[in-house]
Structure 1
Amino acid sequence: MASETSIKISADALAHSQRVSAFLLQEIERAGGWVPFSQWMGSVLYAPGLGYYSAGSIKLAGSSGDDSQQNPRQLSGDFVTAPQLTPLFGFTLANQVAQILHQSESLNILEFGAGSGALADDILTALSEQGINARYSILEVSGDLKLRQQQRLAKWNNRVNWLDTIPTEFTGCVVANEVLDAMPAELFAWSADGQLMQRGVIWNGQHFQFEDRPAPATLADQIKHRMPTLPDYRSEFNPQAESWVQGIGTWLTRGAALLVDYGFPQHEYYHPQRHRGTLMCHIQHLAHDDAFMAPGLQDITAHVDFTAMADAALAGGLDVLGYTSQARFLLNAGLLDHFGQQARDAASPRDRANFQTAIQKLTSEAEMGELFKVLAVGRNIDGGLIGFSSGDRRHRL
C-alpha cells in the first residue's frame, strides 16, 4: 500500500493538496459534519480549479510527449491507459468505429474524456487510411487536458471540435474509454448484524476518515436488489454512471456507444470474496486503497458493474449490442493484423519488442486483457458488431 512517505510530492503540489483539503473541510462543515462518499469523491476529482481532473497537473502517463506510445517504459503522471500504451489500441478500435459509422450512415464520432488526445489521434489516423473522413467531437471536463488535446490534434484542423455540453441529438459512434470508473461512486457496508450502512466522510480534527450511517431507504432498496445480505461486507455502486448510460438513450438517435472500462458483471462484482470492494487510487504509478491520501493529487476510481450499465441502457431504450473482454474484443476487431503491419514497419528490433510488450499488456489475462471489458449499446443499427463476433458474454450480464 502506498503512503505519503513512499511518493515524492513537490512543495507546489503539497500546497495545492492543502487547498483541496480546506475546501473539502468546508463542504463537510456546511453539511453538518458528514457527507456521503460520492459527494466527497466528486469534489476531490472535479471541484472547479481544485479537483484532480479540473486542476492543471499531468494526469496521464506519457501525456507530456509521444515517446510513451512507442515505449511503454517511458512514463510520467499517475497511471497509463491503453491509448497511451500503444497506438495499436486506437487503430484496432477504429475498425469497430468504422463499422458503426457505416451502419448508422454517419461520419460523426463523439468521445467523452479524451485524455491526452492519443485515442482520437489514432482513430482518425486509422479511419483516414480507410478513406473515412470522420468528424470528431470531444467533451472534456479538464481544461488542462483539453489544451493538451488541442495541441496534439491541431493537425486535423476543423475535423475535431470540442463541446461544452452533451448534444441534444447525435448519430454515429460514441467512445468512452475509462470514463465510467471515474464517476463518483456511493460506498456502502453491511454491519456485523446485517444492517445496511451508507459510508460517508468526516473530519476528526486531524484527518479525513470514514463514518457509516444507516442507509436511506432508497439506497437500501437499490442495494438489496443487487446482492444478498453479507455481514461485514463493503462495496460500491454508481447511480451517477447508471444515469449517464441511461441518458445516452435521450440523445443517441442512431448509432452505438463503446464503453471500455475495468469491471465485472454483477454476480462477480458482489462476490462474497470481494468483501472490501473495488475502490482504488492511483498516484505516481502506485495503486492503493487509501482514498484520503493527498487529496487532489491522486485519482480515485471504482470498478464498473457492467450488469447495472446494461440495465441502464435498456431502461434508456437502447439495445445491448455486445459485451466481452478487452482481449477478445481487440482480437476480433483485428489487433493482430495491425500488429503485423506495425512490426513490419518497425525501425528497429527494439521497436518491435515494444509493440510485443504492448500487445501482451492489452490482451493478457494477468494484465488488461481480462480485467477490462467492452460494452456496446446503441439504437437503430443492425448489430453484428465485429468486436463481439466471438466470445460475446451478454448472457453473463
Structure 2
Amino acid sequence: MTNDKDQPRAAAPRGWREATQAALYGPHGFYRRPEGPAAHFRTSVHASPLYAAAVARLLSRLDAELGHPDEVAFVDMGAGRGELTTAVLAALPADVAPRVRAYAVELAERPDGLDPRIEWCAAPPTGVTGLLFANEWLDNVPLDVAEVAADGAPHRMLVRDDGTESPGGPVEGPDADWLARWWPLDPEPGLRAEIGRPRDEAWAAAVATLTRGLAVAVDYAHTRDARPPFGTLTGFREGRETAPVPDGSCDITAHVALDACARDGAALLTQRAALGALGVSGGRPPLALASSDPTAYVRALTRAGEAAELTAPGGLGDFGWLLQPVGVALDALLAD
C-alpha cells in the first residue's frame, strides 16, 4: 500500500510567464539542453547560408555608416549554438572581418569547437557600437496569457506543469494598461491575448546596450490591427508543433507584437522586403547559363531556391523585421 505522503506533490498552478521561464531557462530547461534548438525547429539561419550573408552585408553597410571604426560589434541575441555568428564571420569581407568583435548571447554552455573569436556570454555587452541582431529571440521571452472570462474582463491564465490551465484573477496594473493599448479584447468569453509588456522591456534593454548602431529583431509577428483572436501560444518538439507544456520537454513560443516593441525612428518590414533590400532574390538564373556553364547554373538555381524559401509569402518571407537605429540613418543600410 502506498502512502499518499510518499507521492510527489504536483506543482501549484502559476502564470504562463513564470512557468515558461522555468521550463525554458531553469537548471534543466529546454534551452540548456546540449542538442540545441536546431534539433527541434528550423529557422532562417538553418534554411540557407544566404541569410547569414545578408546579415553580414547589413553589418558591412553599418560599418561604412559608422565611419569604419577600429572595432565594430556583432551581438547575436539568443545565439543557439552560435550558428549565425559563425556564418556571419565567415561571410564578412576582408576589410571588415578583422575589426568585428563577435558576441554570442546565450544561457546554455559554450559549445565545443566554437570559433575562438566569438565571445560567449549570458547577457549582451554594454556600451558597444555595431549591430545587435535578435533572430527569433523575442518569441521566447516569457509572457503571461489573458483570457476573457464570463464577467467580460481579461483574466490571467494559470497553468500546471502538465499544461492544464485554469483562470486566475483579473489582469490589472501595467499589464492591463498594455492590453488596453496594444491588444484590446472585446468582452466575449474565450478571447485570448498574450501580454507582451515583458518583451517590450527586454527589447528596450537590449537596444540600450548600443552606444551607436542598429538593433534588429526578426520574428513571427503581428500588429495591432491584426491580432489573432485566440493568441498564438504553442510548443515545438523534435521538429513538430505540439501543445505548450511547461515541463521543460518542448519549446514554448508565441508570436511577437513587434509594433509594441518599436521606438521612435524604427522601421517594421517583412523579411521578404528586408532581404530584398540586402540583395537576396528568389529569381531564377537565366536559362542560357545552363548551356554556357552548367555547374554555375546549378549553383545559381540552388541559391534561387533557398532565397525563395527565405522570402516566401505565407512562410519565412512573412516574418517581421524590426529595425531600431541608434544614432544612424536607416536609408543607407537598406539601399540595395
TM-score (norm 2): 0.85
Identify the structure with the greater helix proportion: 1
Q: CA deviation at 1:56?
A: 2.4
8 Å Cα contact 1:237-1:305 kept in structure 2: no
CA gap of 1:46–1:347, structure 2 versus 1, over 3 A, is farther
SS of 1:53's equivalent in the other structure is: helix
What does the per-residue CA deviation read over 1:218-246, in whole Å, with 9 as the maximum and x for residues that have no partner? 12232122233321201202222211111
Alpha-carbon RMSD across the aligned residues, in angstroms, is 2.8
Alignment partners' CA distance in 2, 1:173 and 1:84: 20
Identity, % of aligned positions: 22
Equivalent in the alignment of 1:65: none
Q: Is the Cα–Cα contact under 8 Å of residues 13 and 160 in structure 2 kept in the other structure?
A: yes
- Give the partner amino acid of 2:16: F
Match of 1:373 among 316, 320, 333: 320
Task: Decide which of 172, 177, 183 is 1:217's aligned counterpart.
Answer: 172
Contact 2:21 2:142 in 1 (8 A): yes
Q: CA deviation at 1:262?
A: 1.1
Task: Give, in angstroms, the shift of residue 130 of structure 1.
Answer: 5.5
The alpha-carbon distance between structure 1 residues 283 and 339, as it changes in their structure 2 partners (threshold 3 A), is farther
Partner of 2:41: 79
1:51 pairs with one of 29, 52, 58: 29
Amino acid at match of 1:369: G
| Alpha-carbon separation, structure 1, partners of 2:148 and 2:81 | 39
Whole-angstrom distance in 1 between the partners of 2:52 and 2:40: 21
Please state how far the C-alpha of 1:336 moved relative to its aligned partner. 3.1
Asked whether the equivalents of residues 190 and 233 of structure 1 are also in contact (C-alpha less than 8 Å), the reply is yes
Looking at structure 1, the residues matched to 240 and 171 of structure 2 have their Cα atoms a distance apart, in angstroms, of 35
Alpha carbons 1:92, 1:338 under 8 Å: kept = no
2:245 and 2:252 in contact (8 A); partners too: no
Letter in 1 for 2:305: T
Q: Larger deviation: 35-44 or 260-269?
A: 260-269
Deviations, residues 286-333 of structure 1 (Å, cap 9, x unaligned):
113x1128x3221110001011110xx44xxxx41x220001111111
SS in 2 for 1:308: helix
Residue 329 (structure 2) aligned to one of 382, 393, 396: 382
Taking structure 1 as the reference length, what is the TM-score of the superposition?
Answer: 0.72
2-structure distance, mates of 1:41, 1:359: 34
Deviation, structure 1 residue 251 = 2.4
Distance 2:212 2:282 in 1: 29
Alignment match, 1:300: 252
Supply the distance in 2 between the matched residues of 1:254 and 1:244 (Cα, whole angstroms).
Answer: 18
Distance 1:177 1:337, change over 3 A: same
Aligned partners of 2:83, 2:184: CA distance in 1, in Å? Answer: 42
Partner residue of 1:137? 103
Name the aligned partner's letter for residue 178 of structure 2.
Answer: Q
Shift, 1:364, TM fit: 0.9
Output the CA distance in 1 between the equivalents of 2:62 and 2:283: 19
The question of whether the paired residues in 1 share the 8 Å contact of 2:216 and 2:324 is answered with yes
How far, CA to CA, are the matches of 2:87 and 2:284 in structure 1? 14
Q: Distance in 1 between matches of 2:121 and 2:204?
A: 20
